[in-house]
Amino acid sequence: QSALAQPPSASGSPGQSVTISCTGTSSDVGGYIYVSWYQHHPGKAPELMIYDVNERPSGVPDRFSGSKSGNTASLTVSGLQAEDEADYYCSSYAGSNIVLFGGGTKLTVL
Amino acid sequence: EVQLVQSGTEVKKPGESLKISCKGSGYSFSNYWIAWVRQMPGKGLEWMGIIYPDDSHAIYSPSFQGQVTISADKSISTAYLHWSSLKASDTAIYYCARPRGSSTSSYGYWGQGTLVTVSS
């Protein structure tokens, strides 16, 4: 089982939208709805932003949305704000109670 | 309020053993999986394994099987991550995390992280 593939970096200006992809296989991303996205600011604990592909925990702004097509999941951040600058990680259930993380994407707000 | 509180920073030498802890509160500790996640310096998150405290059933990532031991003591609501012989490459921040529901993924609750430094 390999880590899920994410682009190492993404960027956008305040107010713009940015989409981060997460590519796996039919044994993980493509095979289950259990795809999650985490925001991680250095020095802090990661925060769950999206679960089950497109569900938002309470308190997460609706600027954050998730989707999935085949073996690729995506996180879209709309109306970018300065505080959205962080590392973003996807994760997916991979069967047998195993979870895989993506390599992470550093989002820069220009 | 669900809280996971981890033990403090550790500085150890190669070959030493170490056990770090994660104490849960604000919920029924026995009935929710606890996962361990590694972040090496400058690198991403890696899922190490997970344990169900009620029966101490542990599942490991193939990458970490045999390298660490995950355990739990439900009587004191605490999960552990143990190394019998540390290596310099074990230097990392280690997080414990709890799923938001009964699943084994979607970690809605995280500990503050434990920094482990292994150096001669």
Residue A8: count of CB within 10 angstroms of its CB: 9
Query: What residues of B are in contact with residue A101 (Cβ under 8 Å)?
Result: 37, 44-47
pLDDT at A34 > cutoff 80? yes
- Contact criterion met (CB < 8 Å) for A36 and B107: yes
Q: What is the reported pLDDT for B59?
A: 97
Q: What is the reported pLDDT for A3?
A: 87
Query: What residues of A are in contact with residue B107 (Cβ under 8 Å)?
Result: 36, 38, 46, 48, 91
- Spatial separation of the C-alpha atoms in residues B2 and B80, rounded to whole Å: 18
In angstroms, the separation between the Cα of residue A37 and the nearest Cα of chain B is: 8
- Contact criterion met (CB < 8 Å) for B47 and A34: no
Q: What is the reported pLDDT for B116?
A: 98
- Spatial separation of the C-alpha atoms in residues A55 and A52, rounded to whole Å: 6
CB of B9 within 8 Å of a chain A CB? The answer is no
pLDDT at A1 > cutoff 80? no
Show pLDDT as tens, one digit a residue, over chain B (120 residues).
999 999 999 999 999 999 999 999 999 999 999 999 999 999 999 999 999 999 999 999 999 999 999 999 999 999 999 999 999 999 999 999 999 987 888 999 999 999 999 999
Residues A86, A91, A93: CA angle, nearest 5 degrees: 170
Q: What is the mean pLDDT of residues A24-44?
A: 95
pLDDT at A18 > cutoff 80? yes
Q: What is the reported pLDDT for A98?
A: 94
Chosen from A44, A48, A51, A99 to mutate, greatest number of chain B CBs within 10 A? A99
Residue A81's pLDDT band (boundaries 50, 70, 90)? very high
Residue corresponding to tokens 């997970």? B50
In angstroms, the separation between the Cα of residue B120 and the nearest Cα of chain A is: 25
Percentage of chain A modeled with pLDDT above 70: 99
- Contact criterion met (CB < 8 Å) for B105 and A99: yes
Please report, as a single letter, which amino acid is at residue B76. I
Query: What residues of A are in contact with residue B110 (Cβ under 8 Å)?
Result: 45-47
Q: What is the reported pLDDT for B102?
A: 79
Q: What is the reported pLDDT for A2?
A: 77
Q: What is the reported pLDDT for B101?
A: 82
Chosen from B45, B52, B93 to mutate, greatest number of chain A CBs within 10 A? B45
Q: What is the reported pLDDT for A56?
A: 96
- Spatial separation of the C-alpha atoms in residues A35 and A30, rounded to whole Å: 9
